[in-house]
Amino acid sequence: MIKSFQKTRLCVLSAFICAILNACSTDPMVNGGDPFAPTIFKEGTTTMPLDPPNQEKLQSFYVSRETIFKFSIDTSSILIGADGVTRYTIVITNPSGDQQAQYEGIRCDSYQWKLYASYESGVWRPNPLSAWKDIKLHAPNRYQAALAQGALCSFNSQETRLPAILRSLNPDKFTGGTQPSNSFGVIAN
């Protein structure tokens, strides 16, 4: 009976040691996968739009008092990517009414933007020099910053709910390029 008890004790001890070794094998510090280490960004595939910007779905938004351009986002083009990139079509209108459309993306985690394509002569032309660039906060035409701050990002995280983005783009609620006001809340002209 003592030998049987010793065998049982040895089996339980062996099982316990195996369980501990198995737990250690999944320890992030042992297998090299530190859960607190920054993740490496891997951009997903970007499909270029096929259609021109939808003029009926353009939503204008405030950028800054220094700009002479009008900025609008095609709300039907907003794509919230699983890779952390929100892609959209922007339409920039100059004072004479001429328009330029661009297909872009914003990364909220790194506060960067990328130009994928421009709409020229009725077709989307991919940007051969497409690269991630830092979003500029203090520039007259800071529309990427206005979109990131006001609708597409929640601090440094991607807004993943399209209805929330569309609500944020509402001119009465948009905060991306908050217009300066006096102490009475009157907007400067």
Q: Among candidates 83, 89, 80, 72, which has minimal Cα distance to 159?
A: 80
The pLDDT value recorded for residue 117 is 97
pLDDT at 184 over 50: no
pLDDT at 93 over 70: yes
Structural domain span for residue 114: 55-168
Question: Strand 123-126 vs strand 133-134: parallel, antiparallel, or unpaired?
Answer: unpaired
CB count in 10 Å sphere of residue 35 = 7
Q: Quick one: 114 and 160 in the same domain?
A: yes
Q: Quick one: 64 and 108 in the same domain?
A: yes
List, for residues 31-86, the tens digit of each pLDDT value. 556 666 667 888 888 899 999 999 999 999 888 888 899 999 999 999 999 999 99
Counted domains in the chain: 2
**CATH code, 80:** 2.40.128
Query: What are the backbone angles phi and psi of residue 133, rounded to the nearest 5°?
Result: -130, 150
Q: Quick one: 89 and 141 in the same domain?
A: yes
pTM recorded for the entire structure: 0.72
d(CA 73, CA 94): 15
Q: Quick one: 73 and 132 in the same domain?
A: yes
